[in-house]
Structures are given as structure tokens and as C-alpha cells.
Structure 1
Amino acid sequence: MDTSSAIVIFSVLGSIIIGVTVILIKSIASPKRIDGIKKLIKDGKYQQAEKLAKQIIAKDPRDYIAHYLLGEAYYLDEKYDLAFIEYKLVNQNALFDGQIPEVAFRKHMAELYTRFKQPQEALKEHLLLTKMDPQNADNYYETGKIYEDMNQHGNAMAFYQKAATANKKHSKAHAAMGYLLYRAKQFENAKREIDLAIRINPSQFSNYYYLGRILRESKDYSGALKALEKAQRDPEFRQRALIERGSCYMAVDHIDNAMAEFEHAIKVATSDSNQETLYARYFLAACYEKSRNIDKAIAQWEKIYAKNRSFRDVGAKLQEYKDLQSNDSMKEYLTSSPADFEVICQKAVRALGYEAKKTENKPFGCIVYAAEQKGDNWMSVRQQMALIEFHRVTDPLEDTVVRRVHDNLKNNNCNKGIICTSSSFTPTAIKFAENRPVVLLEKEKLEAILAKAGV
């Protein structure tokens, strides 16, 4: 062998030895550096872990263990958008051969899909987790939540039941089933699940909110108020609980208590334009309207209208009451105290050609039993008696009101019925009054009568 050939052979052998040495060094060094990243993450040194993982990836972009750990560091450092990029790369390319903990990875992957509004992908991850870790009730529960958000309530209920089977003390699963049953108006079954959730975890105060709603629907207002009082301990449910408490008080006609709850709900609001705040103002306005404090009701409607012009019937309410500022007689009619309203009704009765004989205050307004005014030939004509009702309402009067008045004529020895309202009458009410001794006077005619009466 000549010298030149020997040199070539030794050069090749040297290159091979150097290459093998480099590979051996890398194979030894890389796991150590990976272990270093893991230790940094464990110690909460996320930024240092990110830096080290990036160095490894720069030398080997296909090191998916490093990509996973970089994503993990980003996730724990709350850099969710960057974590999402790394996790998706791992999900698409990595072989899960034990070096990447797949269950933990899938959980974070599902959370990131949910965070970035990709529910279908999140559902796939959670369904996979129910297969990989079937004893973990949380996997079934999270799957049920996604199905519920998709309005697939049957699937949601099935997975909540699986969660409760896997862990009989899974309070969130029982609460979720209770809420679905409540929405399906199965109040008895709903209450059973919520009660169980509360027994398992009495400090989950959101459950008391749903219990309060169930009890309110069942007309157990006292029980509902107690449950909703506890629900306020959860900051997320405080405002909603106050609104529900106000609704309970409204249902039993405790208007002052209801107003206090709605005012409190507005006070604790974190936003002037969220739905809860608008509903609190809406119900507060309803209380003011019912107690004849129309100016304050209008003030609440105007605040709602400024935030949301299409919120329920607020626009119609403002339109309905817009003439109060210029129409003093109708304003007096709608806002006066019961005693003053009785005087207004008596004046209106005289304007109609009758004299009041008996007056009764009613929740809707006032009933006056009246006799026809005496004319010049009063001695030869028998006085006609009338039953006159005055309604202070905003909704059109139904035919049930007209039927009641008609039925009461004979019982009270009256020849005619007259119904006056600050609103209007439904078509069925108008039809029923035809060819019957009942006169219907809607808002415009009532305004003319009040003007004639000097109100």
C-alpha cells in the first residue's frame, strides 16, 4: 500500500470515528438537555426552559420532545397562543412512544382548542381521553360540557351520567344534570340532582343559584330566597342571584323589597351594558311603573335604551309614555296615589254624566258604582245605574275583563258597564262588547274625558 492510499484510508476512518463520536456525544448530551428543560419547568423557571428548548430545536427542528416541552413551558407561562402552535405541531408529527405523556398532552390540547374556539377539535380530544383514561370522571364531564355548548343536550346528559357513574361524588356532573333537567322543566328531578351536588360540595355556591331558580319556578319563594342568598357568595353569580331574589319578591307583590334587590344588582354590576344589568334595570322600571312612579321608570328605560335599543319592549314603553311630559291629565291619572286617583275617577264619572255612589280601589285601578245624573224631569224617570271601571295599565285589556264586568252588572243592579283604560282593548274584547251593554273607552277617549273633567 502506497503512502497516498494509506492517507486516504486513514482520513476516511478518521471522519467516521469523528462522526460516530459526535453522534454519541449528542445522544448522551441531548437527553441531559431535555432533562434540564424538565427540571426548569418543574422549578417554575419557564422562560429559561423556553430558551433551552429553542436552542435544541434550532439544531434539530424535528425534535418533537423539545417542541412538546417548549409548548408546556409556554402553557404554564400563560403564553397560550405560542403553546397552541407548539402543541399542534407535536399533535401532527410526534410519535407517542412514551417519551411524551399523552394523557397530559391531550388534556392541555383540549383546553387550548376550547380557548381558541375550536369546539369540534376539543371534543375529539376529550372523546379520546375517555378511551385512554376511562376511570377519570372529569373526561366525561368535559365532554358533556362541550356537547351542552353545542345544544346537543341528549349527548351532554349521557356523558354527565357517565361522569357521575365513574365518580358518584362528582358534584359538577350532578349540578350539570340538574341544570339540564331544569331547562327541560323537569323540576322535581332537577332539584334532586342539585340537592345531591350541594350535599357533596356545600361550598360550590353556584349550585344554590340553580336551586333558587328551581324553587322559584315551584313557587317556593321563601326557600328560593334562602338559596339565592347563599348563591351571592359566588362573585360570578352574585348579580344574577340578586335579580332572581327581586323576581321572587315581585311574585309575592313585595315591591319595595324587590326594588332593593334590583338596585343592589345594579350597584354590583361590572358592566353597564351586560344582559344582567339591563334586566336589573328593566325589572326595577317595572316596579316603579307598578308603584306609579313613572318618572323613575322612564329614567331606567332611557338608560337601557341608550345601551340596547332593541331590548325587550323598552322602545315601546318610552313611546307609550312620551306624551306624559305634555299631557298633565294622563300623567296625574297614571302616577297619582290611590287616594288621589279615587278623586280623579269621581271627577271622570261626573264628566260621563253620572254621580259616584260607591268607590273601590283595586290593583288595576278603581271601580265606581254610579247613578245617572238627574235631569229636569228627574221625578218621572228612573235613574240608570252604571258600573264604571278605571284601569291604569299598559297592556291591552283582554275579553276576560269585559266578560267579568258584564257578568257583574246584574249582581250589582246596574244597567250599563263602562270600562276606561290608559291603554287599549284586544280585538276579542271589542268583539265581545258588541251588542252588549258595555262601553269601552280606550286611551284617547279617556284623555278627552279627563280634559272635560278638568283633571
Structure 2
Amino acid sequence: MTLIQLFFILLLAIVVIFLVYFIIHYFVAPEKTDGIQTLLKQGKVSSAIKLAKRLLNNNPDDYHAHYYLGKAYLADNRPELALLEYKIVNKKAIFSTGLSELTFRKESAQLYKQFNRDKEALQEYILLTKLDPSNSDFFYNAGILFEKSNKTEQALIYYEKAILLNKKNGKAHSAKGRLLYRTKQYSEAKKELDIAVTNSPNIFENYYYLGKILKEAKDYPSAINYFEKSLRDPAYKVRSYIERGSCYMYANREDKAVLEFEKAINSSKNDSSKEMLYAKYFLAATYEKQHKLEKALKLWQSIFSVDHSFKDVASKLATYSDLQHNDNMKEYLTSNTDNFVEICKKTAEQAMHFSIKQGSSTSFGARFVVTETNKNNWMNIRQQLILLLFYRDPDLIKDTIPRKLIDDMKKNNCVKGIICTSSDFTRSAKTFAESRPIELINREKLENILSKISVI
């Protein structure tokens, strides 16, 4: 036998061995894994796992067995083990009619999402958009994962592609609308969310964001109606009550605001959650606006016990901590409207030595037109008028107040204006008043003035 004949015999033997391996690997092995599928369909999960492991003992590279072992682990509620098997399949598999790559990628993406492996899940969804470029949901899910990684431009592109493929994809419209809202593109966000509500009326979080947009536009009645609908989503229930309360508060309907904030507090199951702290904070702010400071103080103390640095709570407690030792300031801040006007009248006459010509309550406090008391004015010379304002709003007085005061002074022929407040003034307000006939009296000065009268 010649060397050439030996060579061809050897070559033929190699080809036969390869064909045998190919037949066993691609036809016999899948038939064996059919047994695993049958057991899974029959609900015999433990038996399916045992069979898959037995096959893998004989052939550790059998990716069909790895895949169905992963499916069995999923059926056995052991997704962490399923993910390990799917990783092996991803490395070893040659996808064919025996194993659909599309199906595998979908299942793999879901597993990665389940374990918050967003980077790997995103890679799977990008592959899925290439395997099935007509599937809107694949683009939507990729957009969600891009947004989670703060890649908003890519997320927007994928949301738009999802919508282009399926204009009735409510989830994609919703996600795009929320993204536009977060980037303060309110007009475009509202368009998308309106479409989302039309296509998917049962996604209640969409109503929450529509409410936020309308609240931003100061359309409080419409915003309140949307927040009413978003209450149906348990994840947004507490937040929706808080938003409804804030709308009522901005609309100066404090009684209704209190009810909404109380509902938020009663709906929250976690006393230390951010939502609970915000509900208490806004309720305290409403009580402060209503001059119910004892109730506000209890809420601020409750917040402070959980989070010392929450917003301006520490400052509020410091500001009002002296009320229990300062009865006059306490009455100034907490008395009803009629009593407050009387306190201001006493302050003007007895402590500031003014003679009152006109006086009335206002939305911010009280307003008087006064003249200086002059016992030596025996000739009854006409005295110059002064416009005196009393504020008990907790917010700092902005420069818009002294600017308006100048106009009111001109209308009432007043030569001077005085603003008294239980808080303080912004720097711009102080700067404006410096070069004008306006006197600013902050909380500290007001306390000294109030100490000169008997309020109770």
C-alpha cells in the first residue's frame, strides 16, 4: 500500500469521525434534550434537572442541555442558577433550528434585568433589535436601560423608534413623555403623555406626570383632577396626595391642603421614608401659613428626629423655639385675624407712638395709614402720612414688596413707608430700601417693639 493510499484512508477516517460527531452532537443530543422538555411540560422539574445534569456529565459542552437546565431552574424558582447556565449557552451555542437565538436572547435579557445587570440586559436588547428590527418592545426596553444609565439622547432615539414601529405603544409614549418632563420640555412631554393616556388609560403614573406639568403651568384645578387619577397607582398614591395638597396650598385653600397632606401621612407605611417626611413638611408649612405654630412645631420635631438635615427644618425649629418664652411674639404669629389687627393697632399706637388714620386686615397681615403723635402740635398743623405694614408670613420679604409700597405711598400721599415682619428681608429688598424713604423692621427689631406693649 502506497503512502498516497494511506493518506486517503486516513483522511476518510477523519471525515467519518467528524460526521459521526456532527450527527451525535446536532441530532442525537437534541433528541436527548427532548426528554428534558417533556419532563418540564409534565411538571416534573426535579427529574428534568437530574436528566440535564446526567447529560452534562457525559458531555459538558452540550449547550442544549445547559439551556434546558437553565429552563428547569427557572421552573424551580432558582433564577440565579438559571442565569449561570444561560451564560454558558451564550459562550458555547451555535444557534440553529434546534435553539432559537431570538427566544434565548429574550429570556436572557429578562434574567439580567431581574438581577439589575443593566449593562448585560442592554446588550441583549440591542442584539434583539437586530434579530427582529420590527419589534417595537425591543426598542422600548433598550430605551429604558439607556435612560437608567443616564444616556438620555440614546434613550430618546430608541423610544422614537419604538413609536415609529407601533404608534399605539403606550409604554413607549409614556417613557418618552416622562423623559421629556424630566428634561423640562413640558409642552412636548404633555403631547406624548396625552397619547399614552389615550392608548393605555390604565397606566396611572402617566396621570401623575400630566398633573405635574399642569401644576408647573399653575393650572391647579386640572392638575388636581389628574392627581386624583394617579392615586390608583399604589407606587404614586402618597406622592399624588402630596401634590394635590400643594396645589391647594398654592391656590390659598389651606383647609383642603391640610386634608390632602393628612391623607398622604395616613397612606404611608414607612415613617422614615422621604415621602412621609415631605408630607409632614408640607403639612407643617400649611399650619405655619395658618398660624397654627404648635401643630407645625410638632411636625418639624418629628421630621428632625428622623433627618436632622431635611430641608430647613432645623432653621424652623431654631426660629420658633423661643415662642414658649415670648408670649407677645407668639400671639402676633398665632392669633386670629381680628386679634392680630388689634395687636398691630396697639403696637402702632403704644410702642411706635403713631396716630392711626386708617387700618385694615390684609392677605399678608395688616395695613395702617398713620401719622406721628406730636403733643406739641397745638397749632393743628397738617401732619405727614406714613404707610405702615405688618407681615407674619414665614417667607423672607422680597424686593417686590418695598417696590409695591412705593407705589402705594404715592397713591395715598404718604411720605414714608414702614414694613414690619416676623421673618426677615432678602438682600435685594434691603438694597432697594436703602436709598428710599422706607424703614425695614425685621423679626429681632419687631420683638423689641412688641415687648413694650401688653398683648394678652
Q: Same fold (TM over 0.5)?
A: yes
Structure 2 residue 35 is matched with structure 1 residue 69: no
Deviations 1:114-136 (A, max 9, x none): 33333222211111000011121
The structure-2 alpha-carbon separation of the partners of 1:388 and 1:128, relative to structure 1 and needing over 3 Å to count, comes to same
CA shift digits 1:337-369 (9 cap, x unpaired)? 111111111111120111333222222211122
| Cα separation, 2, equivalents of 1:45 and 1:260 | 55
Q: How does 1:302-321 map to 2 (within 5 A)?
A: 302-321=301-320
Counterpart Cα distance in 2 of 1:45 and 1:340:
80
Contact 1:409 1:417 in 2 (8 A): yes
The answer as to 2:152 corresponding to 1:139 is no
Say if 1:171 and 1:197, in contact at 8 Å, map to a contact too.
Answer: yes
Asked whether the equivalents of residues 366 and 390 of structure 1 are also in contact (C-alpha less than 8 Å), the reply is yes
* Preserved contact between residue 197 and residue 206 of structure 2 (Cα < 8 Å): yes
Which amino acid counterpart does residue 222 of structure 2 have in structure 1? G
Structure 2 counterparts to residues 401-412 of structure 1, below 5 A: 401-412=401-412
The residue aligned with 1:366 is: 366
Q: Give the length in aligned residue pairs.
A: 434
Q: Could you say which residue in structure 2 is the equivalent of 1:96?
A: 95
Q: CA offset at residue 26 of structure 1?
A: 11
Alignment of 1:275-294 (within 5 A): 275-294=274-293
What are the superposed Cα offsets for residues 241-263 of structure 1, whole Å, 9 maximum, x if unpaired? Answer: 22222222122111111111111
Question: For residue 103 of structure 1, what is the amino acid of its counterpart?
Answer: L
Change (3 A) 1:229 1:450: same
Larger CA deviation: 392-401 vs 339-348: 392-401
In 2, distance between residues paired with 1:48 and 1:240?
Answer: 49
Deviations along 1:154-210, one digit per CA (max 9) or x if unpaired, are 211111111111112111011112222223333332222222222222222222222
- 8 Å Cα contact 2:30-2:98 kept in structure 1: no
Distance across 2 between alignment mates of 1:398 and 1:332:
24
Most deviating of 130-139 and 322-331: 322-331
What is the percent sequence identity of the aligned residues? 48
Structure 2 counterparts to residues 348-387 of structure 1, below 5 A: 348-350=347-349, 351-379=351-379, 382-387=382-387
Whichever residue aligns with residue 428 of structure 2, its letter is: T
Q: 1:173 maps to what in 2?
A: 172
Instruction: Quickly say closer, same or farther: Cα 1:40–1:298, change in 2 above 3 A.
Output: farther
Which residue pairs with 2:126 in the alignment?
127
Residue segments in structure 2 that go unaligned for 5+ positions in a row: 1-21
> Any idea what the Cα deviations from partners look like across 1:365-397, whole Å, max 9, x if unmatched?
111222222414544654343211111123322
Q: Where does 1:47-62 land on structure 2 (aligned, <5 Å)?
A: 47-62=46-61
Partners of 1:36 and 1:172 in 2: how far apart? 39
Q: Hey, what's the Cα distance between the residues in 1 that align with 2:123 and 2:158?
A: 14
Question: 1:413 matched to which residue of 2?
Answer: 413
Q: Determine the structure 1 residue equivalent to 2:425.
A: 425
Aligned AA (2:181): Y
Q: Distance in 1 between matches of 2:311 and 2:240?
A: 21
TM-score by length of 2: 0.88
Sort the Cα spacing of 1:99 and 1:282 in 2 relative to 1 into closer, same or farther, 3 A: same
In terms of mean alpha carbon deviation, does 139-148 or 30-39 score higher?
Answer: 30-39
Normalising by the residue count of structure 1, what TM-score does the alignment of the two structures yield? 0.88
Q: How many Å separate the matches in 2 of 1:25 and 1:145? A: 43
The match for 2:446 is: 446
**Separation in 1 of the partners of 2:206 and 2:375?**
70
What RMSD in Å do the two structures reach over aligned CA positions?
2.5
- Write the distance in 2 (CA, Å) between the matches of 1:318 and 1:392: 17
Q: Which runs of 5+ in 1 are unaligned?
A: 1-22
CA distance 1:353–1:286, shift in 2 (3 Å): same
Write the distance in 2 (CA, Å) between the matches of 1:32 and 1:91.
Answer: 21
Partner SS, residue 310 of structure 1: coil
Superposed CA deviations along residues 45-78 of structure 1, whole A, max 9, x for unmatched, are 4344333323333343322222211222223443
**2: CA distance, partners of 1:171 / 1:279:** 31
User: Deviation at 1:223?
Assistant: 2.3
Equivalent residues of 2:238, 2:264 under 8 A apart: yes
User: Residues 374 and 383 of structure 1 are in contact (CA less than 8 Å); yes or no, is this contact kept in structure 2?
Assistant: no
Counterpart residue identity of residue 353, structure 2: G
Query: For residues 419 and 357 of structure 2, what CA distance do their matches in structure 1 show?
Result: 17
Partners in 2 of 1:441 and 1:246 — Cα distance? Answer: 33
